[in-house]
Amino acid sequence: MPFVKELEQEFASDPKFNHEYLWFLGMDTFNKRAPEVILGKGSSALLEGRAFGAQTVSGTGALRMGAEFLVRHLHYNTVYLSAPTWDNHPLVFGYGGFKDIRSYRYWNPASKSVDFDGLLEDIGKAPENSVIVLQLAAHNPTGCDLTQEQWTEIANVMEKRNLFPFIDAAYQGVATGDLDRDAQPVRYLVQRGFELFVAQSFSKNMGLYGERVGCLTVVLGKGRAQDATNIISQLKLIARALYANPAKYGAEIVSRVLSDPALMEEWKKCLTEMVHRIRAMRTRLKEKLHLLGTPGNWDHITKQIGMFSYLGLTSCQMEYIRVTHHVHLGSASRINMSGLTYMNIDRVAGAIHDTVTR
């Protein structure tokens, strides 16, 4: 993003800029600002001191550190992931110590949308004190998100069955282009009084993939602010044992942006532009398939949001499109919409058409 490049030039010419170690849980400014992005500046949990952030090695580090804390200190044993989910989730939670990794239904291949009845039934049967990992926005890999009504129903079940929400916020802002709107579900859970973890990532929404900037935001229940000190001291030990110190360079960039209203505006503009471009690619791909008369209903391409789309091709078709057209799709025909451009989209549409009509 252009403002990131400008900040980098500023750092490069600043004689005081250094490459010192950070504290085990990262930069203070970052840890103050990152939770505000996800919970909202006026969040009661933040104002009451019962929510705090710990800088991690990106979203993956936040998930891993949170998982280990839940197993080691709260003795949780069972975690539920969506089916399908990001393929690293089982590994991260498994290495984090969870012995019992289960899934809840999420994708309905027939309707090419969320299998909400299946989801509710599965988490409704979860043993008490299970951890439920819920992706906040722009679900990877399906591109299908939950509605507010669905979040409300999930919250009812989680409350009744004493389930612990672990929110994976890897794509805040990438679903709608609006950071606040994408964060709504987690703010809703906090307002309902849930204790929860959020794994935040700045990989996608600030384009800082390789700099590994993330945050484990912890929200405690009302009146439990005093527990923060103990939790922080245990998180420090986990971080220290895993990697000692999180990375500094990207955190400097993010901290500067989050502390400067003008840079925040720049960031929001870039996010909106990014989301508009991805949407334009979705529309173009769907239109192109309609123009070509490709059999099937392709409405799901524009209904799905964020970077990913489940095209709905069979494994046989995926093999054909790869071998014949050299169009490579992720497992279960996931495509990353941001890889489509005006230069290659017609070729991709033509390849899909040929594959489906074969």
| Distance, CA of 7 to CA of 92 (rounded, Å) | 32
CB of 179 to ligand PMP, least distance (A): 16
Q: Do residues 46 and 220 make contact, with C-beta atoms less than 8 angstroms apart? A: no
How many other CB atoms are there within 10 angstroms of residue 234's CB atom? 13
Nearer to ligand PMP, 30 or 298 (CB): 30
For 191, the token pair is 């307002």
User: Among residues 168 and 195, whose Cβ is nearest to ligand PMP?
Assistant: 168
CB of 140 to ligand PMP, least distance (A): 4
How far is it, in rounded angstroms, from Cα 102 to Cα 79?
Answer: 6
First to last CA, the chain: 41
Output 167 or 345, the one with its CB closest to ligand PMP. 167
Cβ nearer to ligand PMP, comparing 60 with 176:
60
* Minimal distance, residue 295 CB to ligand PMP, in Å: 31
Q: Which residue has the tokens 């799709």?
A: 329
- Distance from C-alpha of 358 to C-alpha of 348, rounded to nearest angstrom: 15
Structure tokens at 41: 């500046």
DSSP code per residue over 310-325: E----HHHHHHHHHHH
Residue among 184 and 317 whose Cβ is closer to ligand PMP: 184
Nearer to ligand PMP, 311 or 351 (CB): 311
Nearer to ligand PMP, 201 or 333 (CB): 201
The answer to whether 267 is a known catalytic residue is no
Give the Cα separation of 193 and 225 in Å (integer): 13
Whether 86 is catalytic: yes
Cβ at position 171, least distance to ligand PMP in Å: 7
- Is beta strand 334-336 parallel, antiparallel or unpaired with respect to 308-310? antiparallel
The residue from 115, 145, 168, 182 that is catalytic is 168
Torsion of CA 8, 14, 19, 20, to 10 degrees: -130
Residues forming contacts to ligand PMP in the complex (CB under 6 A) are: 58-60, 86, 135, 140, 168, 170, 201, 203, 209, 214
Residue type, position 10, single letter: E
DSSP 21: P
Query: Least distance in Å: CB of 170 to ligand PMP?
Result: 3
Q: Identify the active-site residue in 107, 122, 182, 204.
A: 204
Output DSSP code: residue 330: B
Burial grade of 241 (CB within 10 A; 0-12, 13-18, 19 or more): exposed
Q: How far is the CB of 90 from ligand PMP (least distance, A)?
A: 12
The residue whose two tokens read 């942006």 is 257
**Least Cβ distance, residue 213 to ligand PMP (angstroms):** 8
Entry field: residues in the chain: 358
Position 123, amino acid = I
Active site amino acids: 86, 168, 204
